[in-house]
């Protein structure tokens, strides 16, 4: 394993393959959860959809492998959601529920899926209200979110913040509506004003299909890409890659 340290708030970690990527991601979550619980009494994490995190999610259900997070004191949120029923194969909440959320002792009240019923604007508004309720409780000096996991699309999108979208340009709201991605669906997404206040963001990329966009973000440093606009005020951004995704660095 090759680990490149890039500075106090920015790291690139390269793992040999997708399985090691999943292990490292799960370890980062468990470590961050334990530290946050010690410090703040609870852990707040937001996760993304797509294929990349699914192996990591499956590991989180495996306490016997040592992935023991303080679930009773964990709150889980979604960075974005496709507006389809939770039972759909395209639902981010549905996938995470099947992979680990239903298998770990997370209290029901600590699970905060993005609402998918009704008009997209109403779903976004309701999730913003839910986030404010959940994140403004507790110490005012703690970060709003302890950890956010993001994937990256081949166009550089993260969450459902697509290049050229109004959601990407949002300056105030924490949640916005958006349309795009594969499958092309109406979506609700956290925005940069919220994501950039997190204590730590992990951007995961796996496979040769991501090598170009990872190079554009990390070598060419294209500042207009949604992924490079993830820039934390006081926190850490970690790019967690496998060797194929890192092959053009
Ligand atoms: C979604 C996402 C999205 C995803 C990327 C990468 O719901 O589609 O949250 O931002 O993370 O598109 O997707 P893959 O992991 O499938 O490549």
pLDDT of residue 223: 94
pTM: 0.96
As a whole number of angstroms, the distance between CA 8 and CA 14 comes to: 17
For ligand 1, whether the C-beta of 158 sits within 6 Å is yes
Helix-, strand-, coil-residue percentages of the chain, each rounded to 5: 35, 25, 40
Instruction: Give all domains of the chain, ordered by start, each with its CATH number.
Output: 3-242 (3.40.50.1360)
Q: pLDDT tens across 154-208, in order?
A: 999 999 999 999 999 999 999 999 999 888 999 999 999 999 999 999 999 999 9
Name the residue with higher pLDDT: 64 or 47: 47
Q: Which residues contact 189 (CB under 8 A, 6 or more apart)?
A: 79, 80, 81, 159, 160, 161, 167, 175, 176, 177, 178
Question: Distance, CA 54 to ligand 1 centroid (Å)?
Answer: 11
Distance from Cα 152 to the centre of ligand 1, integer Å? 6
| 191, 174 contact by CB (below 8 A) | yes
Closest protein CA for atom 13 of ligand 1: 50
- For 118, left (φ over 0), alpha (ψ -120 to 50), or beta? left
What pLDDT score was predicted for residue 191?
Answer: 98
pLDDT grade, residue 141 (50/70/90)? confident
Residues near 19 by Cβ (< 8 Å), separated by ≥ 6? Answer: 55
In whole numbers, what is the pLDDT of the chain averaged over residues?
95
Nearest residue (CA) to ligand 1, atom 2: 49
């Amino acid at each position: 394993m090759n680990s490149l340290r890039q500075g106090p708030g920015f790291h690139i970690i390269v793992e040999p393959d997708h399985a090691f990527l999943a292990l490292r991601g799960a370890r980062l979550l468990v470590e961050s959860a334990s530290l946050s619980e010690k410090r703040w009494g609870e852990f707040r994490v937001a996760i993304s959809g797509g294929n990349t995190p699914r192996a990591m999610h499956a590991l989180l259900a495996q306490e016997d492998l040592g992935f023991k997070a303080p679930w009773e004191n964990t709150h889980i949120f979604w960075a974005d959601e496709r507006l389809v029923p939770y039972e759909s194969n395209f639902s981010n909440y549905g996938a995470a529920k099947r992979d680990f959320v239903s298998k770990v002792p997370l209290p029901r009240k600590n699970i905060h899926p993005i609402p998918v019923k009704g008009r997209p604007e109403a779903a976004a508004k309701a999730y913003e209200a839910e986030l404010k309720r959940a994140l403004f409780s507790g110490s005012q000096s703690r970060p709003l979110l302890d950890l956010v996991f993001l994937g990256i699309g081949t166009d550089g999108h993260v969450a459902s913040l697509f290049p050229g979208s109004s959601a990407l340009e949002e300056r105030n709201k924490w949640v916005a509506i958006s349309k795009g991605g594969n499958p092309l669906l109406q979506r609700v997404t956290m925005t940069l004003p919220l994501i950039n206040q997190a204590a730590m963001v992990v951007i995961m990329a796996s496979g040769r299909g991501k090598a170009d966009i990872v190079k554009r973000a990390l070598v060419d440093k294209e500042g207009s890409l949604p992924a490079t606009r993830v820039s934390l005020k006081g926190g850490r951004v970690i790019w967690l890659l496998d060797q194929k995704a890192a092959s053009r660095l």
